[in-house]
Structure formats: structure tokens, C-alpha cells
A = this chain, B = another copy of it.
């Protein structure tokens, strides 16, 4: 299996086990080594008191893309820290896309940046995540 096929197999494995991906309807679009692009559609259960996507739902989408990207080499890796900037609301019924890219890897640490965009391509949020590999493989 080549690096990109392995990355996709790991993401599919995680996705099948995630309660959140089922609950939020997260769909994998593309996963490669150090890269992931996924989407979800904002539903009523994801709204905040102002009627737009709760920031935590946008974070969850970004964090899921981050997980697929940082586990893509099949080394079990956890999120250690993340910073998110909210730029524009996610609207009820809107399809949001999160794209994760590897920014840097050093020893067991990795830094990933994730951009969440709306249907019209506008920036909804930008996320920077710090990961740490914890030993062991995700899939055999």
C-alpha cells in the first residue's frame, strides 16, 4: 500500500469508529499523507443561541480533519493543543469544508493548519493544531 492509500485507510478506520462523525454527518472527501479534506452540513442541532453554527461544531470539523492528517502515516497521534480564529459565521443548512495541511514535523510533535470554508468559498475559520505521537499504530 502506498503512503496516500495508507493515509486514506487510516482515516476510514477512524471515521468508522467516531461517534462524532456519525452524529454530525462528516464525509471524507480526500486524504493523503499529511493532508485531509472533509465536509459537513450545518444542521439545527449545531446552532448556537444566535442561530449560526456553534463555534465548537466548526472546531470539531477542523479537529477531525486534523486527526486524519496527523495520523496519516499510521503512527497513533493525539491533539495536544489547538488555536482557532473565527472569521465568519457558518449558516444553517450550509455545507462547510475543512482542509488540513501539515505545516511542520519535529520529533514526535507536528503542527497542522486547517482552513474551514463556506459554500461560497469564504473563510469561516482558521485552526492551528499541535499533535504529539504517542507510540503504536492506528491500524494493523
Task: Say whether B63 contacts A46, CB under 8 Å.
Answer: no
* Copies per assembly: 4
Q: How far is the CB of A18 from chain B (nearest CB, A)?
A: 5
Q: How far is the CB of A15 from chain B (nearest CB, A)?
A: 7
Residues of A within 8 A of B (CB): 13-20, 22-23, 43-51, 54-57, 59-64, 67, 76, 78-88, 103-106, 109, 111, 113, 115, 122-123, 126, 128, 130, 138
A sample of 5 inter-chain contacts (CB < 8 A) reads A20-B47, A23-B45, A59-B63, A85-B104, A87-B109
Q: How far is the CB of A136 from chain B (nearest CB, A)?
A: 11
Q: Complex formed: what's the CA distance from A106 to B111 in Å?
A: 21
Task: Say whether A49 contacts B18, CB under 8 Å.
Answer: yes
Q: Complex formed: what's the CA distance from A4 to B27 in Å?
A: 40
Q: Complex formed: what's the CA distance from A84 to B22 in Å?
A: 24
